[in-house]
Structure 1
Amino acid sequence: MSERSSLTSQPAAVYAVAFACVVSFMGIGLVDPILPALRDSLEASESQVTLLFTSYLVVTAVAMLVTNAVSSRFGAKRTLIIGLVLIIVFAAAAGSSGSIEGIVAFRAGWGLGNALFIATSLSAIVSSARGGFAGAIILYEAALGLGIAAGPLLGGVLGNISWRGPFYGVAVLMTIALVAIAWRLPDTGRPPERTSLAAPLKALRHRGLLTLSIAALLYNWGFFTMLGYAPFPMDLGITQLGLVFFCWGLLVAFFSVVGAPWLQDRLGTAVTLYIAFSAFALDLAAMAIWTTHAGIMAGCVIAAGIAIGINNTLTTQAVMSVSPVERPVASAAYGFVRFIGGGLAPFAAGRIVEHSSVHVPFAIAAVAVLLAAAVLSTVHRTLAVADEQLRHPHTEADDDVRGEVADEFGGASGAIDEVVHSR
């Protein structure tokens, strides 16, 4: 079967995990349409409301450091179930809260469950999906895109009833996902070896993984500035915001699954990412200029889905390709760094606006994304070698891969062998 095999020919267990991924990723954009409503209903400042993103994503980032240790002690299925239970409990608690401080605190607990789920679900899909590694990443990103698209739409529909509705909606959907995983995902037991708590931080000593993670941190600064703060200057109703971010999410999904592989085949990973980063930076620059024009802002948000869909798929695939450590450890290390950027950006945007103007956060975000492209360029050759190995696995190119990886990672023969033979 092709590396980019059909999304319709997977085992039932993969679909169960993918459905849970869709619901999990709904949590990212779910609160977008209700951010202004939360500000007004709970008499909170914009920077306080953006803490819903910050508490959620920063806790997700830090918790990424322990996900592998937990999974190696409890097994993948039990870890997924623990993560889902935490999300259900804290999403329902957030919906029942009566203060912005309470919602922010419960979103932090939600982030803990999300970290356990995200890191483990990616490795579960990669290990169970048919069609090889690239096909599994595309399937995962398809779930991400659908979740990101559906989240704002659901948030808009339920938010029109009450700002509490989106939180309760996630709790219900995650309960369904919990039942599906408990029923369909086989229990593979505990791994033969336990992963140490320090493994993700040690993995960041590898130049390729660290460089891509830093690029992702900068890119996520731009991404979550847009996602977490753009709803305020647009000044639209709940339904209108839901539709804007729904259209954005549809483009994320399409370009994650269709656009990114097509461009990668023709231009290569590095060149495609340079173009996508540059396009996103220009989009953010336009937001910085026309921040107070609701129509232009809405168009820029929707258009950003193109670059974000491409970036999400190819950066995740690149991290998994160049890292000389096990993929779950690489995922945790990468997630830790990138979610730090995503978590701090919305809160920083709110604080910056309080002390300067509404245009400045988007200008800073544009510069951050351009810096991401510059950082990425320092591992251009490594990405080119990974592309070649993806197209022609297990060929004489192994010797070239070995040489390139030795150059990038300092030569540890065991790590080099693992990279060469795992691709």
Structure 2
Amino acid sequence: MKNYLLIALAAFTFGCTAQSKTNTLTEQIETDTQLPKIQEMGLKLLSTGFNAGDGYAEVWIRDFNTFVTQSAKVVDHKLIKDNILNFFYIQEDDGNIADGFITIRPGYDSTYYKKSVHKPTLAYHKNTVETDQEASLVQSVYKYIKATGDKSILQEKVVGKKVIHRLEDAMQFLLDERFNKTYQLLWGATTADWGDVQPEHDWGVALDENSHLTIDIYDNAMFVIALNNLIEIGGDDINTNKWKIVRAGITKNVAKYLWDEERQKYRPHVYITTSPFPSDFNEDEVFYHGGTAIAIEAGFLSKEQIKVQLDKMVQNVKESGAPSIGLTLYPVYPEGTFQNTGMHPYGYQNGGDWTWFGARMITELVKNGYEQEAWEQAQPMFDRVLKNKGFYEWYTRDNKPTGSGMFRGSAGVLLDAIDAFENLTVNN
């Protein structure tokens, strides 16, 4: 009898403790004075346009994808829709999607930008080292629909073809032009995690004969998220069965080839050709924070595995001295391995700290039941917005803001994370 009483008491105590933790976090969120200020600042920024930030003239699809949801709170939905549709006006015949577009103005660089045939007021370009533009556009359309309830965008005709079919064309481009038959996964150029800079060139955004082709977690996770979105919104207008088969194959082969069971992390690269890095640098030790967050969003990892990834991120922050889990990667690539001088150790995408990806990890932690951990890891990201009076592109190892000072992607994902926290207070 005593044993039963002890068990019952233990269960009651555990339940009370868990409830107490939930209540404590709920109270912290509800009484936090930073959150309303950050929301006000973020929505004010997003109300002013769609270009990536004050350092960028273009509307970039990989950036736009990360603030569509929040923009819908403060921007006329037709303006958002028109800017999404612009990407379909510059979609090429093989289905590929550009990185970004500008509205042509006097003096635009015609050697860098390509003028749109179907909408001559636009010019566009593409960083061909990436393999995320098509996936980003599908995700953007999905988020637009979820935020506005406007499914009519799928039936809009652009140059005689419905948007929903153009989305399929974009996914098909990746299968036709960026699918490796040996590994049955998408490929791209060698970059640092989710980055768009390859090591072989001073600038490094264009594929050429010097590029080292590889497979990574970010590109394939983005593809699966896009397939999830396409399948959900496509209905009878798409070949659902085909895309489900593709999704299952990518998911299976990510686990087979990219997951490093021994290290309990994703491999940075599985090279199709050869590695561009020195033989004495063990790249397999590098942990990609951004790609891992996107893999979690794609549903690749169990709850237990997610906790292991978080623990590794926290340890990386401690060892590196970085300000938050927005740390791009760790350990960093050595000095001189990238010809682009901005990619020095702890510079730009080689160990810079980006809320743009760190906040996505925060949201995924909340979704997967690690609310308290998410709250703790979000604090440095909240603090620096108010301290620096803005949403900066990235931060140095000593937490100094750099890059674009009005980086809309950072605002978008941080507001998404705040929404996730506030939803906890509603549900508790």
Tell me the TM-score normalized by structure 2.
0.30
Higher strand share: 2
Tell me the TM-score normalized by structure 1.
0.30
* Greater RCO (CA < 8 Å, at least 6 residues apart): 1
Higher helix share: 1
- State the structure with more CA Rg: 2
